[in-house]
């Protein structure tokens, strides 16, 4: 599978400007058919608490854009958007669209970033999901989720072989970002792809550093600090062979952690 991450310097609360940026980034390379294209958390607007201003209505302009992108490149697209919550103003979601433009999965961030006020504006999700993509079982997460290994373990129990974390992760904690992505890959014997934004918003600087990590924790590709594309080729056989050779996941003693 070809993985193409769009490391975007998100234009603050300007959906159309970010659509143009994504199109320009992808036009700079050849996207092989059936690739997995990944856009950051809240890619149309940035990590804003002004939910009412940026959340998607129905029909959603950003979901329509993602569907068009998938059809244009004959590829899968995962992207972070803001939707209306049932009990709170918003939901921080990742949507997944197949090459025919059809919605295949929708994930709501389980761990809103409480220290930044997200938990007061965005409704927490409640379900770890997986979806099939080009032979892989893929599990999406969003930013702060990365700090909670227990939900990644639930993904493995559902068959995950590739985790994708889309983010607006700040520069001040970039070492945590890289270390945790590698840790999640090692402990779950899975590929982990982290797609972060770069640049600045009105309050925070972002480091980029989107990476692809293999099941042994080695970084296969690193997008660096600037706006651009993260590109790598991954192979499901690497996961299955390593899990067979070093079957640590079989030794999980779940009886110690409840049902």
227 assigned to active site: no
Rounded Cα distance between 251 and 255, Å, is 11
Q: Which of 6, 45, 139, 143 is catalytic?
A: 143
Rounded Cα distance between 27 and 36, Å, is 15
Rounded Cα distance between 162 and 147, Å, is 17
Q: Which of 41, 93, 118, 161 is catalytic?
A: 41
109 assigned to active site: yes
User: How does DSSP classify residue 42?
Assistant: T
41 assigned to active site: yes
Four-CA torsion 224, 92, 170, 16, nearest 10 degrees: 60
Neighbours of 123 (CB within 10 A): 19
The answer to whether the bond into 59 is cis (omega within 30° of 0) is: yes
Q: Which of 109, 139, 161, 227 is catalytic?
A: 109
Cβ atoms of 199 and 228 closer than 8 Å: no
Place of tokens 């390593």: 242
Tokens of 39: 């856009």
Catalytic residues: 41, 109, 143
């Amino acid at each position: 599978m070809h993985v193409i991450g769009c490391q975007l310097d998100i234009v603050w609360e300007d959906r159309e400007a970010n659509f143009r940026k994504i199109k320009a980034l992808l036009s700079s390379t050849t996207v092989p058919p059936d690739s997995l294209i990944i856009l950051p958390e809240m890619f149309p607007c940035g990590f804003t608490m002004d939910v009412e201003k940026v959340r998607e209505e129905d029909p959603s302009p950003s979901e329509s854009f993602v569907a068009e992108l998938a059809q244009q490149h004959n590829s899968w697209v995962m992207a972070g958007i803001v939707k209306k919550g049932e009990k709170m103003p918003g939901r921080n979601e990742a949507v997944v669209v197949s090459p025919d433009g059809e919605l295949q999965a929708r994930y709501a961030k389980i761990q809103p970033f409480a220290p930044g006020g997200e938990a007061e504006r965005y409704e927490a999700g409640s379900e770890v999901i997986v979806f099939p993509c080009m032979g892989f079982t893929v599990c999406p997460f969003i930013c702060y989720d990365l700090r909670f290994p227990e939900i990644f373990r639930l993904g493995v129990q559902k068959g995950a072989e590739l985790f994708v974390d889309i983010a607006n992760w700040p520069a001040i904690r970039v070492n945590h970002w890289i270390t945790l992505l590698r840790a999640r890959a090692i402990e779950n014997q899975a590929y982990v792809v982290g797609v972060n934004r770069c640049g600045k918003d009105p309050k925070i600087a972002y480091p980029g550093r989107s990476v692809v990590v293999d099941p042994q924790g080695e970084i296969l590709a690193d997008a660096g600090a600037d706006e651009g594309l993260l590109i790598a080729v991954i192979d499901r056989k690497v996961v299955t062979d390593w899990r067979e050779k070093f079957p640590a996941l079989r030794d999980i003693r779940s009886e110690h952690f409840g049902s």
